[in-house]
Structure 1
Amino acid sequence: MTGTEVRNDTENTGPSGYAAARLRLLTEEARSGPPRRTALAELTDEWLTGLFAAATEGIGGGVSLVAVGGYGRSELSPRSDLDLLLLHEGGDAGTVAAVADRLWYPVWDLGLALDHSVRTPAEARRTAGEDLKVQLGLLDARHIAGDLGLTSGLRTAILADWRNQAPKRLPELQELCAERAERQGELQYLLEPDLKEARGGLRDATALRAVAASWLADAPREGLADARRRLLDVRDALHLTTGRATDRLALQEQDQVAAELDLLDADTLLRQVYESARVISYASDVTWREVGRVLRSRAVRPRLRAMLGGGKPVPERSPLAEGVVEQDGEVVLARAARPERDPVLPLRAAAAAAQAGLPLSLHAVRRMAATGRPLPTPWPAEAREQLVTLLGSGRPTVEVWEALEAEGLITRLLPDWERVRCRPQRNAVHIWTVDRHLIETAVRASEFARRVHRPDLLLVAALLHDIGKGWPGDHSVAGEIIVKDVAARIGFDRADVAVLSTLVLHHLLLIETATRRDLEDPATVRLVAEAVGTQGTLELLHALTEADALATGPAAWSTWRGSLVADLVKRVSAVLAGDADDEPEPGAPTAEQERLAIEAFRTGAPVLALRAQTEPAAVDEAPSGEPEPLGVELIIAVPDQPGVLPAVSGVLAMHRLTVRTAELRALQLPSDVDDGTVLLLNWRVAAEYGSLPQAARLRADLVRALDGSLDIAGRLAERDAAYPRRRGWVAPPPRVTVASAASRHATVFEVRAQDAPGLLFRIGRALEDAEVRVRSAHVSTLGSNAVDAFYVTGPDHAPLPAEEATSVARKLEETLRA
């Protein structure tokens, strides 16, 4: 039906003609989506214009009919309300009431829902000032019939009021959106979502239009219009299939709605809804952040200008990592950052943002997405470490991950992610989509980082344990195949890949066995032990099982289930238990290490050597042929004396060097060379940001630290005061345990803590204060987690008595908690 046919039919037959034309329009298969909504609005405009003309016959000007809200935007769904305002100049009340009756009753007679009001422009402005929802509706006011000047004057006044009142009204609108989200949930995860009221729905899209109308901020526009259109299309189909004015997409109606939209099935429908909601939610996050920034700057700027003599204030930029800084409460790229030359930058920026609890700037994410280089295969070590740091940052990981995903960076890093992205889970136990469940599991797993020796493997397994749900068949079996490829590309070695694939294949083993099998049967425990293989894998699987269940939903985990799993783990552990390992046997020193040790002993002073570590770059990713940097190997030899560990680690922290791995051991020099003991420290370090310091400067500071003339603690405190580090989440508390069976020759302290500048210095100083001698140390930084082992003896070179060892461990833990 053409627009001309619609108008003629309406004019000739009146309300009944409108009803017939409306029915034909809604059942016309060739027309749907925006064209049908526009045609329905035009058809309704024509009919109401006729009603208005008849109702105001014999009355002069000064009256107009105005569409507001969704009708004002010409977004009429089949069962939408008609939001109408009868605007008048304040003439005879009886006359105005009669006009209103002649307009409203025909609408009611046709069974159409009507939201109506009768006001003067002054009343409309006053009501809008008192009721935010009224004001939002009037922002979309559109003239239908009558006095155009009256309507235009109101529109101009309402927009002016909105812009003038924006600093007050926008925070109210944000609070309104937050309260609605709390009540209705997130559209992108709900199995029966409310397309209008849930977070990321049509109400939020309208709120973004209102923010843009204020001229204070604007939403990211890429994809926003399409997302809004898709949600409106789904609502249209929902109205048509149910015959009701509903916005809730119930389970029993999803197949019909999918068929109405020519979609494959209900899962395809939900995925389309989730993708649209995700675009709107992300745009809302970015927009409200910008609103807050603008309002804060308006409040602060006059004071700053006064302090600076009227000059324009320069935003403060605090460094967070190489190429990454904080500015105005966001993480942005440093001026010298070059995404086109630094493929690790997206992960480094994301990890820094999550650790600081700050959002990633939209501009930064888009720049990295547009100009960044792909990572080589396998990934360089830094990229793997930054991914683990991001995953281990707790709740802030979610917002940062969503920012990367919104610009396509996640699927670029992990192509297999595309199959689980926005994938619904039709299971009442699950409260998230597959992809969000995986991130939620990583968040939960970060809470258990102190329980396991390899938190990096736990976090990556948490991220990938359900990756097979995007493929047909058993998702655990499919996931095992996928994770072998993904883990190898990320850069894990064969042993770690084997552990990760075992964790993914058997991530349901413990919970299913504990709740469905007889744990008193030795065969049950033996089968689990054979599947798991090692104590280390069992430890990881136990933590993954709990994290997975907690991330599923409140019905998936309980004290009872936890006790059953713990009992099973205890029984399996007993089967897997073997002889305790002793202190790792060090390999023979290299020629360079021996040369440095001899020089240190003869000179009585520390000596060191720096050597860059590299690995070959992928052929396609490094046209220059240059290898990818892994960091720097630092070898230090120091004559055996107290205070070496805190001195060396403190000097490295002063120079902003991050310790990736470290080993300390006592080296007995051959009697034919020099009969003496030298402490040999082998470190792999990397600069937090900026360039590496010169070896001569490191050695000079180390000499001063050892002779007591360099106040390391004071210098670190000054630096931290100048550049305070924000923590966006509360890390799990440090954990110090005594591995009583780990060595026959020494007491072994295992320290698991959140990595931070100066952490190793604090540990070393605490051990020195306890008057124990560090025989050897084995330090690893796995993402943001430090996993360290210290083999110590007392003054008599023997292991500490059990009671003393427990006391030292407790004091060390208290020191790290402070």
Structure 2
Amino acid sequence: MGEPNSDKPHDLSAPDPISARKAQIQHNTAELAERFRSGVPVAELIRERTSFIDLLLADAWNRRLGPHAAGVALVAVGGYGRGELLPHSDIDLLVLLDDAAAPSCQQELSDFLRFLWDIGLKPGHSVRTVAECAEEARADQTVITNLLEARVLAGSAALWETVKSKIAPEHMWSSAAFFEAKMAEQRVRYAKYHNTAYNLEPNVKEGPGGLRDIQLIGWIIRRHSDAQGLQDLVAYGWLTDAEYRELKEAQEFLWRIRFALHVLTGRCEDRLLFDYQRELAGLFGYRGDTSNEVVEGFMQDYFRTVTGVERLNELLLQLFNEAVLHRAEEFSPTPVNDHFQAVNDYLEAVRPEVFREHPLALLQVFLILQKNSTLEGIRAATIRLIRQHIHLIDDAFRNDPEACRLFMAILRQPGGITHQLRRMNRYGVLAAYLPEFGRVVGRMQYDLFHVYTVDEHTLFVVRNLRRFALEEFRHENPLCYELFQLIEKPELLYIAALMHDIAKGSGGDHSEVGEKVAEEFCRRHQIGSRETQLVKWLVRHHLVMSMTAQRKDLSDPEVIHEFARIVRNQNTLNHLYLLTIADIRATNPSLWNSWKGALLQELYTSTSWTLRRGLDTPPDYAEQISAAKDEARALLHRFGLAEDAITAVWENNGDDYFLRFLPEEIAWHTTAIAACRPEHLPLVLLRPESLRGSAEVLIYDRNRDFLFAQSTAVLDQLGLTVLDAKIIASRQGFALLSFNVLEQSGTAPEGLFRLAQICGRLKEVLSGGSAPPPVSRLAARQIRHFTVPTKVFFHDDPQNRFSILELIATDRPGLLSKVGQAFMQKGIRLHNAKISTIGSRAEDIFFITDREDRPLSDEADRSALRQALIDFVGDH
């Protein structure tokens, strides 16, 4: 910034009252923000901010300590010492004292530090003697790290030189010990972010591939040599010129984002929250047809950048490991084939020209790793060679039959498939070999449902499929394990997994476009006609099973029959079931629960039975009703319930009841209702474990207005997620409500106190008979960024028993209760509800009739109900 000038707002030559210095800091912050928005390189702004704070602190120090500072030094440490100060970065200071005697300037030091707080700098500071510094540094690697890039701002420079000599590698923290400590620290940090850079709201500084990864490289190399900055990594041979440029560009991009976060929030904010992503995308000049596309384009660049940093971090740390901890001359290379050798259990190209002379070795290297389980990975120099020769994977390479054979061999190996596909993706080989896959690398969807980028999600699907094959993971899903043993060619499932989302963002239906990509892949890789048809079908229909299970009434035999007609045969059903489970669990693991697993297994079992029965045999409702009654009656007789008691309960229910509940559920309901006297109504019971993988709440009461609205309001207020609701009106004016619920954590409610709380609160509210209580539970912070316009659609029931209403809206506390109020206002009777939440988007299905149990066929009635729902649940 140059010398302070008295006619400028940051002039430091005048007296320094608190108000004046506060104003100067505010002016500097505002000026930097304005220059940032005008396009000044952020590295320049960071240097200017650092220089400004340097001058301010030195001036304040000299004014307060002046002649008393002979045995004291003011030292910048941490990020400030490194000279990377953003508008609201922490200002980390060390006040260094001479060991010889206590300083005579304790009051002056207190005045100095109090002044910094008064003017709003809020420094993080420590006060230590030289000996204490050395002692702390020896005991704690974070302290030695903070001191590595320290700078003297004012006071005795000789004191700092003494500290430097005491903390040198020959006295403590050798480069090898320091390296191992920082690697352990990075593993802990990565685990905090689930070992992936692909978080929906990433931390620009601390997350994998963030600025901390770049800093860690500098710390390790600085501890090992006298390198002062990233540029020295080239001179010392750690980085190539191209890698240095990539690292600097990444650092500049991440600095820009972090600087913008500081400017937008007015504080030290490192999290790229949804609150800021849209605004940052606009600020950085991203454009698109929709606002979501703008954000997705910005975030794709972010994810690609941090992936590159993560890759360079891995490369440099492995180089350091090989050069310092495990010198190559200590190991004798073991030949693997003409192109590769093993050194210290890592694969290495025998010479730099291997990939140029034999491009197919770019695939062969991963197959070798799969076949040799003793090999831990690829040596850093060979990783660098792979990256430098990616351009050799062109159309001629992709169409080479030998390249196709190698890729299919990787997919057909008995183990290591996920590891090698991930490694291929990390080094850029997978994107080069499958250009369509390259287009979804780093691509995210701006919503709360898809928590990974498309490429990360795809590789998780493959991983999940692989786990189905392994005995050690059998307990996670026994049926998937059993079915996987029946799959003749697992590689077809892996291909379908690689292709199922490969057309995301390409325009049009990604399932249809992906089917064409899959067909071309199969043709190029000489996959047989029958197998190709299966892969194409799986890609085209990879969503149909989850949509059927979560949005349709699985108690309806016609729904099952229609789904069976789609899948056609048992082999296709087996493949689709495995792909569906793997896909859902790889989309958002926190949203997977036992309920979804039970629904899919129920659909699988029912469809298998229908396929065995024959697609030409129409559904037999009478047969299903009779079977349900027989099984339930057998259970009730075992419980000791008399036949006349069973008849008394059942004669009030129509045939629909026996279609929609499992025999075990019917037996539970019947036992409870038979024992309940009218004066004890409402009857409220809860089973924490049902056959459908959730808790079931049973409510039996006189049929009246607000029953559904009241019940759902209470369940919502108690923090329970309603997954499914069934309402049966009896012939004598009673109603049976059955809710399948889970806690928001995805687990069933448990503990006597919790169960009593749920039942007690429901009974209390329902006994009052008044309007539903208001739901005061707050919506999640992220919801406001993903509001969904309220839409209502009507569909016809093939059996003409109900009208099927589809509601799409923003998921929010009290939504179902408001739906119930709209139904009551318009005289609508609810029979069944399928509740599905996808991130912030509620996609609920309701099976309804009018008060006379007739479907809503009149368009005027439908329009009135649609408007009522929009009025009750729409955004206001």
Give TM-score, length-normalised by structure 2: 0.59
Query: CA, structure 1 residues 576+2, in 2 after alignment: closer, same or farther (shift >3 Å)?
Result: farther
Deviation at 1:506, TM superposition (A): 0.4
Equivalent position of 2:512 in the other structure: 477
- 1:420-439 alignment to 2 at 5 Å? 420-439=440-459
Identify which range, 45-54 or 13-22, moves more after superposition: 13-22
Which of 9, 16, 28 lines up with 1:22 in the alignment? Answer: 28
Aligned AA (1:54) = R
Equivalent position of 1:564 in the other structure: 602
Tell whether 2:117 aligns with 1:69.
no
Which of 290, 298, 314 lines up with 1:269 in the alignment? Answer: 298
Identify which range, 166-175 or 45-54, moves more after superposition: 166-175
Tell whether 2:346 aligns with 1:317.
no
Partners of 1:233 and 1:119 in 2: how far apart? 35
Equivalent position of 1:48 in the other structure: 57
Equivalent position of 1:361 in the other structure: 379
Alignment partner of 2:517: what SS?
Answer: helix
Kept in 2: contact 1:239–1:246 (CA 8 A): yes
Alignment partner of 1:78: what SS?
Answer: coil
Query: CA, structure 1 residues 191+99, in 2 after alignment: closer, same or farther (shift >3 Å)?
Result: same
Tell whether 2:574 aligns with 1:555.
no
Kept in 1: contact 2:542–2:579 (CA 8 A): yes
Alignment partner of 1:10: what SS?
Answer: coil
Which of 251, 264, 275 lines up with 2:274 in the alignment? Answer: 251
Equivalent position of 1:227 in the other structure: 250
Query: CA, structure 1 residues 526+565, in 2 after alignment: closer, same or farther (shift >3 Å)?
Result: closer
Identify which range, 339-348 or 489-498, moves more after superposition: 489-498
Structure 1: stretches of 5+ with no match in the other structure: 302-311, 579-818
Partners of 1:481 and 1:256 in 2: how far apart? 36
Which of 340, 347, 352 lines up with 2:363 in the alignment? Answer: 347
Kept in 1: contact 2:444–2:450 (CA 8 A): no
Percent same amino acid among aligned pairs? Answer: 25
Equivalent position of 1:409 in the other structure: 429
Alignment partner of 1:119: what SS?
Answer: strand
Alignment partner of 2:169: what SS?
Answer: helix
Query: CA, structure 1 residues 398+71, in 2 after alignment: closer, same or farther (shift >3 Å)?
Result: farther
Deviation at 1:67, TM superposition (A): 0.9
Deviation at 1:441, TM superposition (A): 1.0
Aligned AA (1:570) = S
Partners of 2:114 and 2:127 in 1: how far apart? 14
Query: CA, structure 1 residues 35+452, in 2 after alignment: closer, same or farther (shift >3 Å)?
Result: same
Equivalent position of 1:10 in the other structure: 12
Query: CA, structure 1 residues 164+19, in 2 after alignment: closer, same or farther (shift >3 Å)?
Result: closer
Which of 98, 102, 111 lines up with 1:93 in the alignment? Answer: 102
Query: CA, structure 1 residues 391+69, in 2 after alignment: closer, same or farther (shift >3 Å)?
Result: farther
Tell whether 2:132 aligns with 1:123.
yes
Kept in 2: contact 1:391–1:442 (CA 8 A): no
Kept in 1: contact 2:69–2:155 (CA 8 A): no
Deviation at 1:403, TM superposition (A): 4.2
Which of 81, 88, 91 lines up with 2:90 in the alignment? Answer: 81
Identify which range, 479-488 or 152-161, moves more after superposition: 152-161
Which of 541, 550, 558 lines up with 1:515 in the alignment? Answer: 550
Kept in 2: contact 1:546–1:557 (CA 8 A): no
Deviation at 1:53, TM superposition (A): 1.5
Aligned AA (2:127) = V
Q: Greater relative contact order: 1 or 2 (C-alpha under 8 angstroms, separation 6 or more)?
A: 1
Equivalent position of 1:604 in the other structure: none
Kept in 1: contact 2:94–2:128 (CA 8 A): yes
Kept in 2: contact 1:51–1:102 (CA 8 A): no
Aligned AA (1:574) = R
Alignment partner of 2:267: what SS?
Answer: coil
Kept in 1: contact 2:195–2:208 (CA 8 A): yes
Partners of 1:274 and 1:356 in 2: how far apart? 32
Structure 1 residues 415-453: Cα deviation after superposition (integer angstroms, max 9, x where no partner): 112321111234444442210111111122223463311
Kept in 2: contact 1:445–1:459 (CA 8 A): yes
Partners of 2:159 and 2:414 in 1: how far apart? 55
Deviation at 1:142, TM superposition (A): 1.7
Partners of 2:170 and 2:269 in 1: how far apart? 33
Kept in 2: contact 1:201–1:280 (CA 8 A): yes
Which of 494, 509, 533 lines up with 1:498 in the alignment? Answer: 533
Which of 360, 381, 384 lines up with 2:404 in the alignment? Answer: 384
Equivalent position of 1:701 in the other structure: none
Identify which range, 444-453 or 103-112, moves more after superposition: 444-453
Kept in 1: contact 2:404–2:524 (CA 8 A): no
Equivalent position of 1:201 in the other structure: 210
Deviation at 1:314, TM superposition (A): 4.6
Query: CA, structure 1 residues 368+254, in 2 after alignment: closer, same or farther (shift >3 Å)?
Result: closer
Structure 1 residues 61-83: Cα deviation after superposition (integer angstroms, max 9, x where no partner): 34322111111111112211111
Identify which range, 454-463 or 525-534, moves more after superposition: 525-534
Aligned AA (2:274) = L
Kept in 2: contact 1:392–1:443 (CA 8 A): no
Which of 463, 472, 485 lines up with 1:443 in the alignment? Answer: 463
Equivalent position of 2:345 in the other structure: 329
- Following TM superposition, where does structure 1 have runs of at least 4 consecutive aligned residues deviating by more than 6 angstroms? 216-219, 575-578
Equivalent position of 2:868 in the other structure: none
Kept in 1: contact 2:138–2:172 (CA 8 A): no
Partners of 2:497 and 2:47 in 1: how far apart? 47
Structure 2: stretches of 5+ with no match in the other structure: 228-232, 288-293, 470-483, 617-876
The number of residues matched between the two structures is 565
Give TM-score, length-normalised by structure 1: 0.63
Kept in 2: contact 1:529–1:575 (CA 8 A): no
Partners of 1:3 and 1:567 in 2: how far apart? 80
Equivalent position of 1:284 in the other structure: 313
Deviation at 1:34, TM superposition (A): 1.2
Deviation at 1:51, TM superposition (A): 1.1
Tell whether 2:67 aligns with 1:58.
yes
Query: CA, structure 1 residues 71+186, in 2 after alignment: closer, same or farther (shift >3 Å)?
Result: same
Aligned AA (1:440) = F
Deviation at 1:370, TM superposition (A): 3.0
CA RMSD of aligned residues (A): 3.3
Query: CA, structure 1 residues 236+337, in 2 after alignment: closer, same or farther (shift >3 Å)?
Result: closer
Query: CA, structure 1 residues 171+38, in 2 after alignment: closer, same or farther (shift >3 Å)?
Result: same
- 1:165-244 alignment to 2 at 5 Å? 165-186=174-195, 188-215=197-224, 221-222=243-244, 223-244=246-267
Query: CA, structure 1 residues 359+485, in 2 after alignment: closer, same or farther (shift >3 Å)?
Result: same
Identify which range, 94-103 or 373-382, moves more after superposition: 373-382
